[in-house]
A and B are shown apart, each in its own frame.
Chain A
Amino acid sequence: MGKKSSEGFLSKPAVQSTLAALLCIVIGLLVGYVALLIINPAGATEAIITILKNYFTYPTKAAAMKYLGNTLVKAAPLLMCALSIQFCYQAGLFNIGAAGQYVAGAGAALFCALQLKMPWIICLLAALIAGGIFGIIVGLLKSYLNVNEVISGIMLNWIGLYTVNMLLSGVKETASPYTVQVASVNKGAILPSLGMEKLFSNNKYVTIAIPLAILIAILLKVILSMTVFGYEIKATGIAKDAAKYSGMKEKRNVIITLFIGGALAGLGAAFLFLTGYEQWSVTQSSVPGMGFNGIAATFLGGLDPIGTIFASYFIQHITSGGSYLDKNIYPSQISDFISAIIIYLCGFVLFFKIQLNGWLRARDERAKQPPIVQSKKEEGGNK
């Protein structure tokens, strides 16, 4: 290992994933920069720096900490959506319905908080169950009726949006389309902060949601890599028929996976709306982008729960950064544009890895000519 460390280093899957992610980010930012240049060359450099700096644009440390808090508040639900998509992807399911499961969770949490005046723990549970039910519908349709989970997921996104709009129209402010403030109607539904707001210049939106989301990510990592259930999920994802043949109940696994996926996304919504940071607009006519940005975060994170933590933060960081742009020169959606480019590039990651491995193998073979007959790359690299 020691002598040829550079080769061994480059052929490690984790290193390759990180490299690929960084490459995606760099190219994504470059494309974004070019777009900014086209829109208005004069301020483009400053604009891309603004996006990257996000809350660092504030001069004082206190203000920066406060707005770091805001970015984290929104990164927590994003992480949950990313985990939802990531978990389902392990079982070979593309859970684009996470956006709808997120909507269902938001509806359930706000309904319990505002209409039924429940404490926060019940609201969280309600969101978890509502998201889970949306997931189960997709799972049932997939495993028993062979309905493509992407299409049923999209349909449920819209059904969820209109249902939640109807459900919450009873608890909206009289003068606006927004739901009433959670803090003003039912203080008990606000997630506890356990004094964390002190760290972020008394940002009252900072709650246990942030550490909880990270804990859940670690928990998922443990489940996936150390339990029988996690093993079965991954086996189902890699070879469904083989998993079935070896006695795993693949139908049941698909349904459970989508339930967990839905529950994660639903919980994510509760993590945002129960802080009071955002209100639901009952007239909105497009599905919130959180679930879709989750796709970006999960693939950028190399489909690993821990990597996803960092990727979610990054995606949210540039999304928040976009809002600091001068609105009369640059559209803030340039951040969404960069995220979308990054996801598109993530599609090439596999290609990138194959190329990289091919190049490494070729180099190994060149380095040590005939004597060693075994052509296996790992052995060649480690001798």
Chain B
Amino acid sequence: MVLLLQYTLLFASVLILVALGGCFSEHSGVINLGLEGIMVMGALGGALTLKYISPSTPALLIVLAVMAASILCGVIYSMLLAVACINLKADQTLVGTALNMLAAAAATVIVKSINIAENPDNVSSTVQYVQTKKALVVSIGSFQFNWFMLVALIALILAYVILYKTRFGLRLMACGEHPQAADSVGINVYTMRWSGVLISGMLAGIGGIVYITAGVSEWKFEVGVAGFGFLALAVMIFGQWKPINIGLAALLFGFFRALSNVYSGFDFLAALNIPGSVYNMMPYIISLIVLAFTSSNSRAPKAEGIPYDKGSR
């Protein structure tokens, strides 16, 4: 039971971080379908930091270093989306998809090259971080508290405050609702959209490292992050683009994702003898059902997905 709670909170943290990232980007008017790819790059940065940092470094420093590396990778990678979608007015769906594929391929190539350089016979795409990963968690009884749960909670509160209580947040949202109107009162739409995308890169980057350190101590980069970026988008839609609702939606999805990790530990679930694949499918099925019920009267930012052109009306 403790294990289920622990995994629920962990996966919910991932979903909160990434969904909030999507939320910032979409409120500024850019659909960020590249979240999945940004997660992979964030995960790569974090994992390599964990690999190379000395295990004797103070735990707090490790957590901060990992976070900084993930944020850096996520932000840099999200610039590819920003340049293409905001300045060059490319198709946002196409560029997002390209970024997802590029991240998976690039991460595999980078990790494999590092592995091959260390040992020519090691052609795997796996990064191990058994020792240093321990710095990320604190055991409270049998519950393993992960520092990133706290980070997700802080991000949630900050997102609420920034979006609804600050000038920056309100301006950001104006650019997603009606960029022409925002422009007419002197808000630079391009700057705001860049901020939105970069914030999403930052949050999705952290989300990536949290995902690959949840419960495992090595990661095979060939598999990417298994559609989690898209689950986060489903969470965001279910949460109607509002931070607090996103938090609640993430808990629900996190629960179903956690179930696939720990179902064998429950006697009554194990007794049902349902194949593991069914549990694996669960989060995706739930999100389809949820989307079917919530999409028809969506509160999506009105101008999302439409490149802003100063010259058009």
Contacts and interface: CB of A to CB of B under 8 A. Distances in A.
- DSSP class of B's interface residues: helix, strand, loop or mixed? helix
A341 B95 CA distance: 10
A320 interface: no
B104 to A, nearest CB: 8
Given A147-B292, A286-B222, A333-B109, A159 B102 contact: no
Contact of A328 (B104, B120, B293): B120
A163 interface: yes
Contact of B284 (A158, A337, A339): A158
A165 B94 contact: no
B270 interface: no
A166 B98 contact: no
A26 interface: no
Given A286-B224, A347-B84, A351-B89, A148 B121 contact: no
A350 interface: yes
Contact of A159 (B112, B224, B226, B284): B284
Given A331-B109, A341-B102, A162 B281 contact: yes
Contacts of B285: 155, 159
A258 interface: no
A155 B99 contact: no
Contacts, number: 153
Given A159-B284, A329-B116, A343 B101 contact: yes
A372 interface: no
On chain A, which size bracket covers the interface?
Answer: 35 or more
A295 B33 CA distance: 15
B3 interface: no
Contacts of A296: 101
Interface string B199-210: 000000000000
Contacts of A116: none
B88 A348 contact: yes
A328 B120 CA distance: 5
Nearest to A331: B112
Interface in B225-271: 226-227, 230, 233-234, 237
A152 B288 contact: yes
A333 B278 CA distance: 31
A327 interface: yes
Given A331-B123, A337-B102, A344-B80, A155 B226 contact: no
Given A151-B230, A156-B284, A334-B109, 4 more contacts: A163-B277, A286-B223, A333-B112, A344-B99
Counting from the closest, the 5 A-B pairs by CB-CB distance are A347-B90, A331-B112, A340-B102, A336-B105, A344-B98
19 contacts: A94-B94, A141-B295, A145-B292, A151-B234, A151-B291, A154-B230, A155-B227, A155-B285, A155-B287, A159-B285, A159-B288, A286-B224, A292-B101, A331-B109, A333-B109, A346-B98, A347-B88, A347-B94, A351-B89
